[in-house]
Amino acid sequence: MASIYDRGADDAFRQALSEARQAALTAQDLVEVTCPHPDCGRTATAPTPDAGREITVTRSAALVGEYEKVHCPAGHKVFVHYCKTP
């Protein structure tokens, strides 16, 4: 009996899911950042940086400049700094 499992369809589904997720993030102007706390590594979302700025993620507001304070799913404070790119 032939297997009904279609590997190609499964990959296509995963790809579509990934694209839909990315589109949802883009629509909300959010980017995913990885929690910097040790042994965490969960992802949180932060506003997308403006052109000419890049994101630096830290555990404290040590850097000067603009930042957003967000929380990862584990409740850690995550400071997302928007640094001007040189």
- In the complex, the residues that contact Zn ion under the rule CB under 5 A are 35, 37, 40, 42, 72, 74, 76
Shortest Cβ distance from residue 38 to Zn ion (Å)? 9
Alpha carbon 30 to its chain's center: 8
Q: Which residue, 42 or 53, has its beta carbon nearer to Zn ion? A: 42
Q: What are the distances in angstroms from CA 49 to CA 7, 25, 28, 37, 84?
A: 37, 13, 12, 22, 10
Q: Which residue, 69 or 84, has its beta carbon nearer to Zn ion? A: 69
Q: What share of the chain is helix, strand, coil (3-state, %, to 5)?
A: 25, 35, 40
Shortest Cβ distance from residue 42 to Zn ion (Å)? 5
Q: Which residue, 53 or 76, has its beta carbon nearer to Zn ion? A: 76
